[in-house]
Copies of this chain bind each other. A is one copy, B any other.
Amino acid sequence: MIDENIDESHPRYHSLMMRKKIADAGEKGMLAQSAMIAHGRGEAFDYLLGEQTIPSAMDATREMAARLVNAQKPVLSLNGNSIALAGPDFLKIASQLGCPVEINIFYRTPERMGALLANLKLAKSNLGLDVEILGGMPDARIPNLEGPRGSCHQDGIFSADVVLVPLEDGDRCKALRDMGKEVLVVDLNPLSRSAKFATVTAVDEVTRVAKNLIQLISERPQSTNYNNEKGLQDALNHIVNTMSTQNNQ
């Protein structure tokens, strides 16, 4: 569906490649239709950010790295879009941290879970990494979250103290916070409920965050008394300034 021959010199090459990855994953049955719509919303916000990691997002990502490194029991909670866009990089991060990844999707069907598990297992085998992949046989529930999206693994999300949940929905983010966990979110919309509920939010594109996390985790940074509201406000200021500037051109 997406042009196969995207020229690397195209100013929006990276964004177009991400779109292609999402469309391809959709055709492989890894994603709900709504996942493609969600990707488009993210594209719009990334466009307004200038498709770059702004300094406050890098600060948030460093804070995430610190909290993951210092966690007793970290876990990476991955949905379909995270796996489609950055599955191999999240496996590398889990390997660095020695923690599991857990697949947790909003519209759970056996077919979609099967496609996502197969995709991650193949990536793990290609990378030669030893990472536990959870999600296929949930045996616990996130309290106050109805339906299949409340399902989780006792040894994974349920008992984790720090959860990285890129591209999370607001209700689930809040439910995880209510369990007393530190919730680290990647969300391009600084006004979203997830962005506001999270302990730390990187207002950034998920593949850029994954690459940055790999580097930052290796530096083993110290965690700080992070002010998430300030980070979100900075991202919003950046977007507003970008639009105002374009407006005056």
Contacts and interface: CB of A to CB of B under 8 A. Distances in A.
Interface of A: 1-2, 19, 22-23, 26-27, 32-34, 36-45, 47, 107, 189, 191, 233, 236-237, 239-240, 243-244, 246-247
Most-contacted residue by chain B among A41, A191, A237 (CB, 10 A): A41
B27 A33 contact: yes
A47 to B, nearest CB: 8
Contacts of A22: 33, 37
A52 to B, nearest CB: 16
Contact of A44 (B23, B41, B247): B41
Contacts of A19: 34, 37
17 contacts: A1-B107, A2-B34, A22-B33, A27-B33, A33-B36, A37-B39, A37-B43, A40-B41, A40-B43, A41-B43, A43-B44, A44-B44, A236-B243, A236-B246, A237-B247, A240-B243, A240-B244
Contacts of A239: 243
Nearest to A33: B23
Nearest to A107: B1
Contact of A36 (B37, B42, B44, B45): B37
Q: Is the interface of A mostly helix, strand, loop or mixed?
A: helix
Contacts of A36: 26, 33, 36-37, 40
Most-contacted residue by chain B among A27, A33, A34 (CB, 10 A): A33
Most-contacted residue by chain B among A27, A39, A191, A247 (CB, 10 A): A247
Most-contacted residue by chain B among A2, A27, A39, A40 (CB, 10 A): A40
A186 B239 CA distance: 23
Contact of A32 (B1, B47, B107): B1
A22 B233 CA distance: 32
Most-contacted residue by chain B among A42, A44, A240 (CB, 10 A): A44
Contacts of A47: 41
Which 4 pairs of residues, A with B, have the shortest CB-CB distance? Answer: A40-B40, A44-B44, A23-B33, A36-B36
A20 to B, nearest CB: 9
Contacts of A43: 37, 40-41, 44
Nearest to A232: B247
A27 to B, nearest CB: 7
A196 to B, nearest CB: 11
